[in-house]
Amino acid sequence: MARKGKVLIDRDMCKGCYLCVRACPVKVLEADTNPNSTGTYPSSAAHIEKCIACGNCYQVCPDVCIEVYELEGDEA
């Protein structure tokens, strides 16, 4: 069974560089349509159901805004 993941993004820490958007192999992440408290449109897990918990987004974020969790079984 394919791995399933969950990502948590700190919206207010995100500076909108979108390195994570480019690094995601399955296109989970997109720029949010709502700005954060600094007026930046942060990265958002728009298609979280596709996440495979590879950790690429976590690894590329220069500001450590992203946490990745691997889900067990049918957890969602």
CA nearest to 48, candidates 15, 14, 11, 8: 8
The residue from 2, 39, 56, 76 that contacts ligand SF4 (CB under 6 A) is 56
CA 3, 30, 42, 59: dihedral to nearest 10 degrees?
40
Q: Kindly tell me which of 1 and 54 has the beta carbon lying closer to ligand SF4.
A: 54
Q: Kindly tell me which of 35 and 68 has the beta carbon lying closer to ligand SF4.
A: 68
Identify the burial level of 2 via C-beta atoms within 10 angstroms of its C-beta, where 0-12 means exposed, 13-18 middle and 19 or more buried.
Answer: exposed
Q: Does 61 bind ligand SF4 (CB under 6 A)?
A: yes
Q: Kindly tell me which of 37 and 63 has the beta carbon lying closer to ligand SF4.
A: 63
Contact positions vs ligand SF4 (CB under 6 A):
5, 7, 9, 14-20, 23-24, 26, 28-29, 42-43, 51-57, 60-61, 63, 65-66, 68
